[in-house]
């Protein structure tokens, strides 16, 4: 009988090169603000291309595709910008709030970190992947290492929560304040777009849905 040691980082059947796993670990520890930027940039390119493409949006005419793609582009700019800004503000608040003693890390959060990274070696590896030098933690006790990791993770958690809150707010606010004005500006200023249509004159959402359904 073979006993597999308990671990939350075991990948069965995967033997990836070391360089790949190191890059993947760094990407996994990217701050929420940068994660949102990567996701937003990817969506900006792919979703705009899908709305504009004749193959991906075959039932719409040229003007409808242009308006749909323009509005999608504007929406991705606004939502990505607000998401990155909210997460950055949350991370800043978390870091500076802890440094200045404005608040403390909740005890429950430290318990979460302890369960997620059960051994001191796992906690050290996590800190190193987050940019902490080995010399800085070499002489620390297991409790100190866990506390250091908790303080590193907590600002990111606040940033993620701020991002979720901004996402909820932007659903109701972003369309009215930013997306339509930016769409109108692009339709006016960009010569390759349709100047005869305004975002307020077309129901882009309904047009895009109808064109995709046929």
pLDDT of residue 2: 41
Query: What six digits make up the tokens of 164?
Result: 């979720």
pLDDT of residue 49: 92
DSSP annotation of 104 reads: -
Nearest-Å Rg of the Cα atoms of the chain is 23
Pair 213, 60: CB distance under 8 Å: no
In whole angstroms, what is the distance from residue 185 CA to residue 19 CA? 45
pLDDT of residue 209: 52
pLDDT of residue 10: 43
For every residue of 1-28, DSSP letters joined together read -PPPPP-SS--TT----HHHHHHHHHHH
DSSP annotation of 105 reads: -
pLDDT of residue 44: 92
pLDDT of residue 166: 79
Per residue, the 3-state secondary structure of 67-96, as one string, reads HHHHHHHHHHHHHHHHHHHHHHHHHHHHHH
Tens digit of pLDDT at every position of the chain (214 positions): 444 344 444 444 455 566 655 555 566 667 778 888 888 999 999 999 999 888 888 888 888 888 888 889 998 998 888 888 888 888 888 778 777 777 777 777 777 777 777 788 888 887 877 777 877 788 888 888 888 888 888 887 888 888 888 777 777 776 668 888 888 888 887 766 655 555 545 555 555 555 444 4
pLDDT of residue 42: 93
Nearest to 208 by CA among 99, 6, 52: 52
**Secondary structure of residue 198 in the 3-state scheme:** coil
Distance between start and end Cα atoms, the chain:
59
In whole angstroms, what is the distance from residue 59 CA to residue 45 CA? 21
User: Within the chain, where are the H helices?
Assistant: 18-28, 32-52, 62-99, 107-116, 120-129, 134-137, 142-174, 180-189, 204-213
Angle at 193 between CA 192 and CA 199, to 5 degrees: 165
Angle at 135 between CA 130 and CA 140, to 5 degrees: 90
pLDDT of residue 45: 93
pLDDT of residue 214: 47
CA separation (Å) from 97 to 93, 127, 151, 198? 6, 20, 11, 45
């Amino acid at each position: 009988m073979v006993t597999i040691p308990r671990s939350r980082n075991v990948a069965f059947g995967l033997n990836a090169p070391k360089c790949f796993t190191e890059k993947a670990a760094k990407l996994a520890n990217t701050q929420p603000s940068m994660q949102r930027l990567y996701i937003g940039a990817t969506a900006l390119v792919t979703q705009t291309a899908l709305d504009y493409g004749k193959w991906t949006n075959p039932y719409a005419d040229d003007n409808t595709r242009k308006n749909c793609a323009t509005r999608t582009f504007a929406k991705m700019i606004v939502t990505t910008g607000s998401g990155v800004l909210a997460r950055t503000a949350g991370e800043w608040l978390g870091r500076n709030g802890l440094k200045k003693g404005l608040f403390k890390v909740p005890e429950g959060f430290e318990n979460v970190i302890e369960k997620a990274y059960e051994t001191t070696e796992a906690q050290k590896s996590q800190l190193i992947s987050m940019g902490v030098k080995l010399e800085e933690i070499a002489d620390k006790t297991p409790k100190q290492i866990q506390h250091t990791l908790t303080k590193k993770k907590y600002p990111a958690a606040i940033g993620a929560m701020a991002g979720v809150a901004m996402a909820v707010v932007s659903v109701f606010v972003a369309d009215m304040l930013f997306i339509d004005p930016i769409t109108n500006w692009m339709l006016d200023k960009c010569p390759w777009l349709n100047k005869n249509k305004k975002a307020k004159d077309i129901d882009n959402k309904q047009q895009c849905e109808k064109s995709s359904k046929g």
